[in-house]
Amino acid sequence: MISKFKEDFFWMLRKEKGYYPWVDYDRWRLGKLLDECHAMCLKCKHAHEGSNEDLIRTLVSRNVCENELIDLFLKALIRAEIRFVSRYVPQRSHEERLTGNLVAEIDNSIHLIADEVRNASLKRYSESRIIDFLYYDLSRGGKIEKETGADLGFILVVDLPDHSFLVKSLILQAKKIHNSCQIDDAQYEVLKRWCAEEGKECPCYLFYDMNLETLTSPLVLPIDELTIQTKHEEATERNSGSFSLSFNDVCKEGYPLSIFVALRLTAKEYGKAHSSFKDAREYFDSLSREQWFNGRVGIASIGKKINFNTDNNEILEISI
């Protein structure tokens, strides 16, 4: 277990928050994901046959990814989620402020493991590799987000000697949920039309569990999953203008943000693939110009430093 993260991981294990409610709903999904990482030792595999606590303890205390740098990234995201649900969700802020708190914790957690990543890369590659994170604002004012439903973006870059070069983008709409929540039908239609356009990625909802009894890690649910599509179709038939999603609906097909970004985003079926970071950055810039996306974008780079400056007329220039 990463010593810098012990206090937060112990809080999750002691309070049974964070991953616990999601694992309680369907524990075998996490077990399957761990097996897919191809690095489970016999003791780790045995944990799948034990309690939910055994499974979660395995996740936070052992290398569950074949590549240790990816594993450290996953651990940093989990730690950020724990601090988010324990410190900020109970303050009952609105979605935009909560999103800012979450991304700030991701930034902090990633930079805390800089030394661990550097040491792991020296051992694995005999050269120093780094992990970096930057959060930048594409907001142009107005109320674009309410019309489009997109207010948070991610770009993940993986550039390592023994890993296929990867640049993926992800678009999210943050939504608070307390046992259940209402999804605006018109907003969902906009997201659905965007998803249907050639070359466009499938946006996702990012649910913040506001129930203090559960305090689940933020859950990502793609808009094309069966449950949410069925709910939308039923609402359209009733001409109701909105539809309800239960917490169980979200747990059924959603994933914690940490798993979705660190493990699922590298799968072909999630996110939009780009040929380079420059292509991904231009993609978000075009969305902003088209007034479809008006939010903030988090950039995570595993392997190379994120360079930025404001020399060009105070416009932030970013490169990797």
Along the chain (320 residues), what's the average pLDDT of each consecutive run of 10 residues? 95 96 86 63 49 87 91 97 97 91 96 97 96 84 52 93 94 94 88 70 92 97 91 89 93 94 84 94 85 84 91 74
Residues facing 297 on adjacent strands: 136, 153
Cβ(115)–Cβ(307) below 8 Å: no
Rg over CA atoms, the chain: 19
Other beta carbons within 10 Å of 83: 22
- Tell me the C-alpha to C-alpha distance, in Å, between residue 148 and each of 91, 211, 319: 27, 27, 28
Identify the pLDDT of residue 305.
95
Cβ(260)–Cβ(106) below 8 Å: no
Identify the pLDDT of residue 111.
96
Instruction: Report the candidate in 152, 240, 231 with the shortest Cα–Cα distance to residue 192.
Output: 231
pTM value surpassing 0.95 = no
Identify the pLDDT of residue 189.
85
Identify the pLDDT of residue 285.
86
Q: What is the dihedral of CA 192, 197, 200, 201, to 10 degrees?
A: 30
**3-state secondary structure (DSSP) of residue 143:** coil
Identify the pLDDT of residue 138.
75
For residue 199, count CB atoms less than 10 angstroms from its CB and return exposed for 0-12, middle for 13-18, buried for 19 or more.
exposed
Identify the pLDDT of residue 241.
87
Residue 19, both tokens: 């991953």
Other beta carbons within 10 Å of 215: 23
Instruction: Report the candidate in 107, 105, 69, 60 with the shortest Cα–Cα distance to residue 84.
Output: 105
Alpha helix ranges (H) inside 50-157: 52-61, 68-83, 95-112, 114-125, 144-148
**3-state secondary structure (DSSP) of residue 315:** strand
